[in-house]
Structure 1
Amino acid sequence: MDLTRALQALLLGVVEGATEFIPVSSTGHLILLVDLLGFAGPPGRSFEIVIQMGAILAVIAIYLRKLLGLAVGLFTDRAAQAYVRNLILAFLPAMVLGATLYGPITRLLFDPWVVSVALILGGVAIILIERYRGEASVLRVEAIPPRTAFAIGLFQALAMIPGTSRSGATIIGALLLGVARPAAAEFSFVLAIPTMTAATVFALYKEWSALDWQGGGLIAIGFVSAFVVALGVVKAVLAVIGRIGFAPFGWYRIAVGAVMLAVLASR
């Protein structure tokens, strides 16, 4: 295995794990970084699809007790039923629109210019919403009204545009709709499990004929590093998000998008 490619795979896995569950767009970061590094991974998006599965596994590990509790209480506990109902309602828009628009989006929008602009616009939106949103009225995920859960799902569907950020869209949508920061973050992370799992399975189905597993070593490096880093990042975000808010992520998005636009313009 070429050492340079192995280090690039490690870096991409770290970036995937660090950015998947915070509102800065993991897909956007990978598109920009692959472009900057000239990374030549396995063709057919094998690398990107599988390292995303590493990040999914991390959030499953973190919320395993919660997930088991929901499964046990699904038929007897009203709070568990409301929680699962909200997950289903928020998942539906992404499922329908993702299956419909997957082809056009991957062909037309997976571009560094699109990502850079989306990062900046999303950053501005995060800062403004954090500054001017009203007082939170919903403190727990199970207390989210069904209509609000579905609306959060519509926000999540916006993340099909690379650079938007799935977690960013769901968290900001939840904040706009009166959900408190900790509940918004938890709902976004748990909602990622069915959404990202379905997206990964669908991508594998659509890309199967083009997938190439010859670079198994590179894929394994990216998968493990994404899992380990995502594990730490989600725990850290949950610990501090009530104090720091999401505005720092907005400023970060603007900085990265602006730097990348300057790099692209200079070529």
Structure 2
Amino acid sequence: MDLIKAIVLAIIEGLTEYLPVSSTGHMIIASSFMGIASDDFTKLFTIVIQLGAILSVLVLYWKRFFQSVDFYLKLLVAFIPAVILGSLFSGLIDQLLESPLIVAIFLVIGGFLLLKIDTLFTPSENQEIGYKTAFKIGCFQCLAMIPGVSRSAASIIGGMSQKLNRTTAAEFSFFLAIPTMLGATAKKSFDYYQNGLTITPEQVNALIIGNAIAFIVGMIAIKSFITYLGKHGFKIFGYYRIFIGVVLLIIHYFVQPLTTF
């Protein structure tokens, strides 16, 4: 992976991590088009640069992280399902991460769901997130282990199914991303070194630059997303997902199989 490719992937990560459009799916497609999807360092890079995206949440919402211990316990409860299922199905998840076709299919499915999500659930007046609600949201988040589903979309939908409004559900999704991404980064880094792989100085530079870009772009994306979401809802993201997914499916079936990029 050269520096230009690293920058492109970092911009994609920053733009899409907190939007309900699947950052992992977008990076799989982008890296497939660039011919680096199966490279071990690419797989590590796309996970590790999520740390930059994490930092953007910490900076924008830093006051929330000084509220109470209860806040952290709820995030822990919501994180538990991902730990369990991620450990049980890590091999299958790694295989799916190499399939642009799976991404295309679930982009379309998720897109149709987002078109209807604003009418499916009615928020309650009480927007307090309890432990039971946090756990249920964490279970929804596990659907994002299928690339193309979107961690953000799954956890936001999970929150709305528990009668949270769009903004509250989205913000909890942002917070839940922190332990989830940290856990994924730690596991991927451990597996990388367990397989006897090392990182070159050039790759270290790519990781540093990638995280910096993901942080800056992530800050912009989060602020824009929350503002837009409060006013307009999810339909535009649904149409976008359907459009991208359909284009990819057309390419796959009529131009060139996606797995050969």
Does the alignment reach a TM-score above 0.5?
yes
Q: In angstroms, what is the RMSD of aligned CA positions?
A: 2.0
1:134 to 102, 113, 121: 121
Contact 1:171 1:188 survives alignment (8 Å): yes
Gaps of 5+ in 2: 257-261
SS of the residue 2:40 aligns to: coil
Provide runs of 4+ in structure 1 moved above 6 Å: none
1:224 corresponds to which of 212, 225, 228 = 212
Deviations 1:19-51 (A, max 9, x none): 001111110000000111224897343322221
How many Å separate the matches in 2 of 1:218 and 1:117? Answer: 31
| One-letter amino acid matched to 2:132 | R
Q: CA deviation at 1:138?
A: 5.2
1:66 aligns with 2:64: yes
Given candidates 16, 21, 24, the residue that maps to 1:19 is: 16
User: Which consecutive residues of structure 1, in runs of 5 or more, have no partner in the other structure?
Assistant: 75-80
Matches within 5 A, 1:79-158: 81=70, 83-130=71-118, 132-137=119-124, 140=127, 143-158=128-143
1:162 matched to 2:147? The reply is yes
Residue in 2 aligned with 1:77? Answer: none
Q: Decide whether the 8 Å contact of 1:138 with 1:144 is kept in 2.
A: no
* CA contact 1:94–1:195 (8 Å) conserved in 2: yes
Tell me if structure 2 keeps the 8 A contact 1:91–1:194.
Answer: yes
CA 1:259–1:16 in structure 2 vs 1: closer, same or farther (change >3 Å)? same
Preserved contact between residue 129 and residue 176 of structure 1 (Cα < 8 Å): no
Change (3 A) 1:30 1:212: farther
Percent identity of paired positions between Structure 1 and Structure 2: 39
Matches of 2:250 and 2:126, distance apart in 1: 41
Q: Bigger CA drift: 86-95 or 251-260?
A: 86-95
The superposition leaves residues 60-98 of structure 1 with CA deviations (integer Å, 9 ceiling, x where unpaired) of: 22222211x23xx33xxxxxx2x3343222111111111
